[in-house]
Structure 1
Amino acid sequence: MHRVIIVEDEFIVRYGIRSMIDWEKIGLDLIGEAANGREALDIIEAGMPDILITDIKMPVMDGIELIAEVRRISPDIKIIILSNLEDFQYAKEAIKHGVSEYLIKSDMMPRDFEQALLKIKESLDAVRNSTSDQTLSFRSEPAHKESFLLGLLERGSGKINDEEQILGKFGLSHFHPAYLLHISLNTSELGYAERQSLIRNNLEQEGLPHSRIYEVFPDRQGEINVLFSVSESEGDAGSAEIEVLRHQADQLIHRVFEQSGLCATIGISGRIREWSEVKNAYDQAVNAVKQKLFLGSGRVIVHGSDALRISAPPMGAISISSLQVQSMVYAFQSKELTEYIEHLFEQLAARRDAELVQIISLELLMILMTLWPDVSKDAQQVLELKKRYFEELSRLETLEQSRMWFIQAFDALVQHMIEIYKGDRSSIIKATQYIQQYYHQEISLQSISSLVHLSKNYFANLFKKEVGESFLEYLTRIRIEKAKTLLTGELKAGEVGGLVGIQDPKYFSKVFKKITGLSPSEYRILVREIHK
């Protein structure tokens, strides 16, 4: 069974995570819990887990530090981040270290959590025989050979001289010059075993010529990798080999599509001359595949090709103004919002950074998921919408698809707000009437929005749109207007402030002067002189 550790500083949350899953039933072994990253590392020292479930914000050592340290210790551990919406800025740092799943605590249901765990377990099961198994058995069965090759992808072969006996047992003593092909399928419906079977069957039939295939083996994500041997010569002969390989890979893509309707993208590494170069070649091929974001899927992408070369990327960071996006949504500025998103994706296209695209996409998604609860009273509908968002985004392969998806998603939100706008305008009228009657009482944004059954953020934006000034500006203006009437009598300024809901005399005088240009005393004198 695969081993799991939970890291969360709040006991009640740890208890909830532990209790919502029947760990043994789904084939996982919960080996420990920790309240912070430091405690988690102590547990990891006692026994390396396969899956790490961690919060982001924790005392002593937070989730970001923990993930960075775990990645230094082992690149193999699968990581699930648990976070709150407001912690997303921290989560962005963790994403850079590579995580398997990102789950939001407030939206996490037992079934969703279990599905995320099962997805990771399936990935681990696909390559269950770890490289350490090879020290116990030198049999040349395909599973053991694949496991050994997987180890080369992940840890490299710095100690390859110590592994000559294993290479010999697997018939790999002499390395033929080769290229590594990384084959990625655009599907989340097929399991790892089904995806591998589909690719292997096509390779064995009329995909790449079998006589030139050196080895075929999956990585931990279940994607197939192929070592394709070439001639010993380099130079022009090597360039010709790449063109032949590109042609054969393109044929494989077409065959997979004709047979299954699935779109495959194939990344090809640089030339490999010895086993010690396999890990670097794998990184090259994987990074080439990631460029499908910018070049399009269903194609062959060769490391170092002209298609991957870009001019000097623009300087400066790409950032999203959440407040600006929210303001445009609340103002129903669909055109301006579309232009904002298009400009954002133009910058991403110029950068050609797949990791940055993931981070920006998640940040836009967080904004959507924050705004929808503000404008919908159906909590279940919002929850289902959030799930659908994650599912749809996971299926997008190119930057253009992502751009169109976000434009449509934000436009759908704006259209929904326009539809409910007329009905909610009466709520603003009700709020202004309440303020005019009860201005002398304590009235907060939270209390007044609850009174009219609207979310705080939505109410604040709708109020300003309808009234022309913010809730606080309106409340303060009403109070000062009432105070001006009271100052015509004999009450002291401090007493007048208390009667209109501003209890602090100094603050009352400050606000009064800011709005009228006069202090309460000066205003009283002026009024009396006028009426003499």
Structure 2
Amino acid sequence: MNIMIVDDEYSIRTHLVAMLRGMVGLRVMEAVNGEDALQQMERSLPNIVLTDIRMPVMDGMELIRQCRMRYPDVWFIVLSNFAEFELAQKALEYGARKYLLKATITKDSVVEEINRAILLLDKSMEKEAKFEPNEILMVQNSLFYERLNGHIHNTELLRRAERLSVSVYMEAFHTPSKFAIMEIERFVDWTGNKYRGRADLAVYALINVVREIIKRWNKGNELFHLGDNRFVVLDLGESDDDRHALKIEDISAITKQYLGLEASFLINCDFSDMDDFFQKVLESRQQLVHFFYEKNACIVNTKHVPAPVADLDLYSFFQSVEGIGNERLQVAALPGLIEAYFELLRHLCRPSVSVKGDLKTLIQFIEKSGFAVPASLKSDIDQLLAFRLTDFKLVFTEWLGELDWNSRHRKEISKALTFIHDRYATKVSLEDVCAHVNLSRSHLSKLFKEQHGISVMEYMESYRLKQARLLLRTTKHPISEIIDRVGVTDVFYFSKLYKKHFGINPSKDR
């Protein structure tokens, strides 16, 4: 049991130390004021503190107040003079358990009070340590939340973990490792349908399934509930990015198989120790915006995500990327225009709260190109509570349907465009597109050219180049990587096509 004596007078400290000498199992620490005491607590937390009230730098009242938030289990005994009786009473309101008058203090009274404190602390520890498995998970996550939000420090976290037999904090975080953030899709719906809205039961069901998986990798692995539908998956001792990604894919598959849930993951979050772990978890929250811009059940590698772009004249930027002016567009160009704009938003990955404003810019662009956007579409955008960017995109897709675009341009052409937009980054041939829409090569080529004025492969080439221009202007990826991402294999051929299409070399355009 650790005890700390806090007093600015050396003679009083040594006198109290002498009184406590001989008590078995007691380790005595000394501090000259409240600030000194707090600094020592960062390294070694006492169970009991005897503190004076009036001290320079930081007095006993402020010490108790700060410890009430940071170390609430520390047992405080206040030392006071007769003239400080009201302050001593106030200290009891702050959380002190007892006050002793300096004028009448004796060795017997100090030892009696210390023994009483030890007895009550031991009983409290014994009572709190008896938890069922699910209660252990609750306590484990409570400690995680307290430390993550800065309510306690490592010393107090480890002390409570030891007292409550929560092993993960005592055994983990000693070697470089990884973690992933797991976000469950439609978690509220699942909780309501299967657990009648009991979020606690839903969380425990998920935690128990995932823990069974991750403990196969390392018995010290744990799953922490970050809040709402998000969880932190520990992958202790892992240093290989690809192996970590395969493990996460395993979690995704089993979670879907046994719970009927789909999840998105932010993976390859590295950390070296406990402080680094909690700091990286806090930082990772800023990167979760990328989920909004991806498809459901996506896996995002934290090492490959660019920083969000906030300040940008989106109208001018989109106009320059597309390489078009304010001239009136043909109705056949609308789907490609809308697709390109949503792809731009995905690459920019601005804060999701800005999306509705960004979509008003798209509407402005469409209207200046000669099309009337109905008030109902604008209202739908304003009122939509979107889970993904694709939820907004669906509103525009439905509007295109109302324009009767599909019937006038054949369902097969619509399917061909969707296929190209989804697969442009891979090796796609005209035969692949024909097979997808179930038309012969000659028939598809004729229909496509009638509607777009160019061939299928010319359209695909143009779309690839636009995506390359987008990457050039929104990322720092080398050109060799960009051409690979858009499905072009030769850098010299790419440069030639790019200059022909946009009238400028890729490197100068960047």
- TM-score range for the pair, normalised by the shorter chain length: 0.3 to 0.5
TM-score, structure 2 normalization? 0.39
TM-score, structure 1 normalization? 0.37
